[in-house]
Amino acid sequence: MLRSVHKLPGLIAAALILVIAASGAMLSVVPAYDALTAPAAPAPQLTVADLAAAVAKAVPGVSQLTRAPSGTITADYSDDNGMGTDLIDPSTGRVLGPDNQSALYRWLYGFHRALLMGKAGRLASALTSLALITLCVSGAMLLARRMGGWRRFFARPRGSTWERLHVVVARYVMVGLVFSALTGIYISLTNFDLIPNGLAQMAPFPSAVPPGQPMAIAQMPALQAVPVDQLRSLTYPTDPTDVFTVTTAAGQGYVAQANGAMLNWTPNGLAKQVFETIYMLHTGEGFWSLGLLLGLAALGAPFLSATGVLLWWRRRRSLPRIQHNHTAHSADTIILVGSETNATWGFARTLHDALTQQGYRCHTGSMNTLAKHYAHAERMFLLTSTHGDGGAPASARSFLARLEKIKNPPRFPVALLGFGDRQFPKFSQFGYDVAVALDERRWHAMLPYDTIDRQSAQEFARWGRAVGDYLGHALELNYQPVRPRTRVLQLIERIDYGHEVQAPTAVLRFAAPEVGGNLWERLTRRSGLPRFNAGDLAGILPPDSDMPRYYSLASSSRDGFLEICVRKHPGGNCSGFLHSLEPGEMVEVFVKPNPDFRPLRGRRPVILIAAGTGIGPLAGFIRGNARGQAMHLYFGGRDPRSDFLYAEEIEGWLDERRLTSLTTAFSRSHDRAYVQDRIAQDAHRLRKLIHRGAQIMVCGGAEMAAGVMQALDAAIAPMGLSTVALKAEGRYVEDVY
């Protein structure tokens, strides 16, 4: 619900937010420019009487003096050539020249205020401000939920580059945007007379004006009592029986010509004071420094609009299109999906389509949308993957919290299906966690909890037949995976390790092949290196398979090649294929970003911990460390003579200061040590590095990672820290398999 509240106003009002914010940012410069270019302020003892007398001599036919919040004074006049406006020196009253207000400024002002559309434009501008407030508030709530609470609101964001930029910019400009939008809405409400602004309040015109010959303006007591810096406007009389109309920051009144006395002085009412204050805060007129800050915040709105639409489009494009998707309120069958990479959505679509063909009214959505009540639901299906080391995938992160709020289980049954990879110790762990939570609430199970290994279409079809038996009719689930778009790369180099210790491992380096063939083949063949960073994932499609296997990248696209470390697993289809490659042969590759596994920027040290092929992405980080950020590598293997991966490169990186220190542990050497043993031995040194703000990055097998975490917890316990706390700060990250 909260995501929809954030999404809909943004998509509907994105264009209006962009143009109104951009025009507001440009207008915010005007008060600062006026303040910096305004003539010198008058002496404190200079009064309106002195100024008005000097202007009356310098500008024949003067009708009104106006003082802007910037201090600029103008004089309106009429003569035989018509009407005009001159700029006035506030210290002397002499004419500085004609006031030629910029046509661009007038156009921008009208556009920002009403989109050059009159009342309809003012209404659209007000609704846009309301949409902006909704976006900021809902965005802040979404960010707090994503970061793990309001206390971690300013923690390091995760996600793709555009997601992180969207979050960072929003943090800086959110308060300014809300402030501008709120004050803008207030001004709009006064324009529609829904809130009084007090501008129409006028001092009652005097019923009797003292008679007599006009006295000299410079000698009028009422005007002598008003300093120039308090003046708003002064209207000159048109004949000897008329009066001066004077408006100041405090109120309004009339001055008799005969004796210069103030008549019917009326202080500003509360409505006018409030309006003028809010108008000043919104426009920056009279407070130009605040205006510039709000203008800078306004510049963030077009960026947030553009990146928000981009992220929405990417997310929408990555999801499979589900036809005949009923609303959750009207559906009799609810299908909820937990997925990190959107692969599980393909299985959900297959189930959705099969049930729809059988006449069921299905609604398919994310597990994060679990509701307390479904009006017409008769059954529910939960399909979820597991992310990382047994965690919830992106579209199911709030599912268990939502489930806790449901006190009484629904009467309809639920079927739970977990997806994972059995080579990981915590295979489909999140699915098991959901199964336990459902069982604790005594939610009736349609079928026993079941799992799918490595996205097996055969196992999914088997599960579908069991669902059909429960429903009382045949149900065929023919899942067809969508083949990802790949690039063709050529193996240019391989270095083999580990044969002596029965752990064959290869460092494989790929590059863009030379494009041959005819023109059509060269134009249609997808080759060349994609854009990627060390730590991202390379998806490899072995021959005759649409099921990719992922390998952490040991290089970035800036290096000019794509590099991975692969250990050959018995019976491994993809690892066997990769180990059989010879230089010159081709593979199909695509890149999956992994932005959460990156070294933090800055000068803080980085502790890199890996065993076996886990060194791959860490080697990529070291290779790209041209600025010499302190990096300390802990590497574990079996035998230094057989599987010391990147041994020669590491020596060079140490000489080049790309790598600060190296600590190794080999389980089949004379001292028989594991990497977690070195962690325990270096506890004192590691505490010093962590005290300096070090980030810890761990890559390798799950068993190794668990041992490292245990050793680190023991090492930093005297500091009152834990790896869990460091994880929450983004200072402990893992890439575990």
The rounded distance, in Å, linking the Cα atoms of 2 and 294 is 27
β-strands 333-338, 379-384 pairing: parallel
Q: Which residues pair with 607 in a beta bridge?
A: 632, 696
**140 and 57 within one domain:** no
Decide if 447 is inside a domain.
Answer: yes
Instruction: Name residue, tokens 């962590």.
Output: 690
What mean pLDDT comes out for the span 713-735? Answer: 91
Element (H, E) at 37: helix 29-37
Q: For residue 274, how far is the Cα from the chain centroid?
A: 35
**503 and 421 within one domain:** no
Lowest mean pLDDT among 20-34, 256-270, 571-585: 20-34
Q: Output the CA angle 84-85-90, nearest 5 degrees.
A: 155
What mean pLDDT comes out for the span 181-208? Answer: 87
Running DSSP on this structure, what letter comes out for residue 391? B
CATH number reported for the structural domain that contains residue 668 in this entry: 3.40.50.80
- In percent, the amount of the chain with pLDDT more than 70 equals 94
Residue 538, classed as helix, strand or coil, is strand
Burial class (CB in 10 A: 0-12, 13-18, 19+), 225: middle
Give one word for 537, left, alpha or beta, with left for phi > 0 and alpha for psi -120 to 50.
beta
CB 383 within 8 A of CB 351: yes
Instruction: Name residue, tokens 């959901």.
Output: 434
**258 and 282 within one domain:** no
Residue 524 confidence (pLDDT) above 50: no
Decide if 248 is inside a domain.
Answer: yes
β-strands 231-235, 333-338 pairing: unpaired
The rounded distance, in Å, linking the Cα atoms of 266 and 52 is 21
pLDDT at 518: 47
**Overall domain count for the chain:** 5
The rounded distance, in Å, linking the Cα atoms of 51 and 217 is 9
What mean pLDDT comes out for the span 696-724? Answer: 93
Q: Tell me, what amino acid is at 397? A: R
CB 488 within 8 A of CB 525: yes
CATH number reported for the structural domain that contains residue 544 in this entry: 2.40.30.10
The rounded distance, in Å, linking the Cα atoms of 504 and 501 is 8
Q: Tell me, what amino acid is at 308? A: G
Q: Which residues pair with 417 in a beta bridge?
A: 383, 450
**364 and 493 within one domain:** no
Q: Tell me, what amino acid is at 151? A: R
**223 and 80 within one domain:** yes
- The candidate with the shortest Cα–Cα distance to 433, out of 404, 468, 391, is 391
| pTM over the 0.85 mark | no
Decide if 598 is inside a domain.
Answer: no
Lowest mean pLDDT among 133-147, 183-197, 448-462, 648-662: 133-147
**547 and 433 within one domain:** no
Residue 554, classed as helix, strand or coil, is coil
Decide if 169 is inside a domain.
Answer: yes
pLDDT at 686: 96
- Give the model confidence (pLDDT) of 271-328 as tens digits: 988 988 898 888 888 888 888 898 899 888 888 888 888 887 877 776 667 889 999 9
- Give the model confidence (pLDDT) of 214-269 as tens digits: 999 999 999 999 999 899 999 999 888 899 999 998 999 999 999 999 999 999 98
Residue 3 confidence (pLDDT) above 70: no
Q: What are phi and psi of 492, to 5 degrees?
A: -110, -15
- The candidate with the shortest Cα–Cα distance to 17, out of 313, 312, 305, is 305
**294 and 251 within one domain:** no
- The candidate with the shortest Cα–Cα distance to 268, out of 251, 285, 255, 245, is 251
pLDDT at 522: 45
**415 and 559 within one domain:** no
Decide if 180 is inside a domain.
Answer: yes
What mean pLDDT comes out for the span 6-24? Answer: 75
The rounded distance, in Å, linking the Cα atoms of 148 and 134 is 21
pLDDT range class, residue 602, cuts 50, 70, 90? confident
**418 and 495 within one domain:** no
**466 and 360 within one domain:** yes
Decide if 476 is inside a domain.
Answer: no
- Give the model confidence (pLDDT) of 668-687 as tens digits: 888 889 999 999 999 999 99
What mean pLDDT comes out for the span 527-535? Answer: 84
pLDDT range class, residue 638, cuts 50, 70, 90? very high
Residue 525 confidence (pLDDT) above 60: no
**456 and 421 within one domain:** yes
Lowest mean pLDDT among 370-374, 516-520, 661-665, 715-719: 516-520
The rounded distance, in Å, linking the Cα atoms of 628 and 644 is 23
pLDDT at 416: 97
- Give the model confidence (pLDDT) of 406-465 as tens digits: 888 888 999 999 998 776 777 889 999 999 999 999 999 999 999 998 888 899 999 999
pLDDT at 517: 47
Decide if 98 is inside a domain.
Answer: no
> Structural domain of residue 672, as residue ranges?
606-736
Decide if 348 is inside a domain.
Answer: yes
Q: How would you write 677-710 as a 3-class SS string?
A: HHHHHCHHHHHHHHHCCCEEEEEECHHHHHHHHH
Q: Output the CA angle 635-640-641, nearest 5 degrees.
A: 150
**144 and 21 within one domain:** yes
pLDDT at 421: 79
- The candidate with the shortest Cα–Cα distance to 346, out of 560, 190, 546, is 546
H-helix segments, 499-646: 519-524, 573-579, 615-623
The rounded distance, in Å, linking the Cα atoms of 30 and 737 is 58
Running DSSP on this structure, what letter comes out for residue 606? E
pLDDT at 32: 84
Give one word for 730, left, alpha or beta, with left for phi > 0 and alpha for psi -120 to 50.
left
Reading the block at residue 109, the tokens are: 């002002």
pLDDT at 466: 96
